[in-house]
Amino acid sequence: MFITPEKLIDGTVFDSSVARGEPAEFPVNGVIPGWIEALTLMPVGSKWELTIPQELAYGERGAGASIPPFSTLVFEVELLEIL
């Protein structure tokens, strides 16, 4: 899966698998609830823009220094394959 860019709702980019030059791989149970919801609906080969509200992202805790608490996240996702 390619994810580019990963950003806050204000446009601040916090990550990009395309910038790293390789697809992201992870188990579905290791992601935020908004991702689980979207990935169960995405067909292989599709490209979606996901806007994930804070309730389905990191909520009040945030994630490290780059994702503040209560952040809505925006992802451009291309699902390459399911392993």
Q: Which domains does the chain have, with CATH numbers?
A: 2-78 (3.10.50.40)
> In DSSP terms, which residues pair with 13 in a beta bridge?
7
Which amino acid makes up residue 70?
Answer: F
Confidence of residue 1 (pLDDT cuts 50, 70, 90): low
Question: For residue 41, how far is the Cα from the chain centroid?
Answer: 14
Written as one string, the DSSP assignment of 44-58 is TT-EEEEEE-GGGTT
* Ranges 11-20, 24-33, 69-78, most confident: 69-78
* Per-residue pLDDT, 2: 56
Dump pLDDT digits (tens) for 32-82.
Answer: 999 999 989 999 999 999 999 999 999 999 998 889 999 999 988 888 888
